[in-house]
């Protein structure tokens, strides 16, 4: 049964006084000012997060000092691996999705201990395009702060592509020059013959 409503001291706070089942006065906030209740999904998600934190705390408490050190090492390795593969993907080459190999820690969580990103090395339709593709591959391969041996091998392959494409460009330029030289030589020989050829004209 609602008795009435009023405000004390702070006019921005609304409340309602009601009698509960035991006929005791109960002070309640105004319904309009109540915080919106969480949806069932939000409640479940909050409960899962709470349980995960509690499980994490209890499992951390149960771990020995060696196990705790191992967990810290695995966490550090996981961060390094993910940063390394992320650097490959942001390097500018034609990279695929990162894939990881995992190890379960003493705390029951899975940690990434290795990873790889596929890099697509394509020759272009022109030597210049091949050089641009290879440079992008080199950039991706060497993007991490500490490139692995495999990263350096990929970068070396891309560097070889660049050398071959540059040789092709040099060959094309030489062929163009040779073509001009042949034309020039042919021209000069013809004009030289013209200079030396005399015609006898009779009247």
Each residue's pLDDT tens digit, 120-137: 888 888 999 999 989 998
Whole-angstrom CA distances from 30 to 21, 24, 26, 87, 201 are 19, 18, 12, 53, 126
Q: What is the mean pLDDT of residues 73-101?
A: 88
Q: Where are the domains of the chain?
A: 40-190
**Predicted model pTM:** 0.54
Predicted confidence (pLDDT) per residue in 98-116, tens digit: 899 999 999 999 999 999 9
């Amino acid at each position: 049964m609602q008795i009435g409503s009023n405000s004390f001291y702070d006019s921005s706070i609304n409340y309602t006084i009601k009698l509960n089942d035991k006929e005791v006065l109960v002070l309640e906030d105004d319904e309009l000012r109540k915080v919106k209740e969480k949806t069932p999904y939000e409640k479940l998600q909050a409960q899962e997060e709470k349980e995960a934190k509690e499980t994490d705390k209890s499992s951390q408490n149960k771990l020995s000092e060696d196990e705790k050190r191992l967990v810290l090492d695995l966490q550090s390795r996981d961060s390094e691996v993910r940063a390394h593969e992320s650097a490959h993907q942001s390097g500018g080459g034609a990279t695929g999705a990162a894939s990881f190999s995992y190890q379960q820690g003493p705390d029951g969580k899975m940690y990434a201990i290795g990873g790889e990103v596929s890099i697509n090395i394509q020759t272009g339709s022109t030597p210049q395009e091949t050089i641009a593709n290879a440079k992008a591959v080199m950039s991706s391969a060497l993007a991490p702060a500490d490139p692995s041996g495999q990263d350096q091998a990929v970068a070396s392959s891309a560097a070889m592509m660049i050398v071959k494409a540059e040789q092709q460009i040099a060959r094309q330029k030489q062929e163009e020059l040779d073509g001009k030289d042949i034309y020039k030589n042919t021209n000069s020989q013809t004009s030289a013959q013209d200079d030396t050829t005399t015609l006898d004209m009779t009247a």
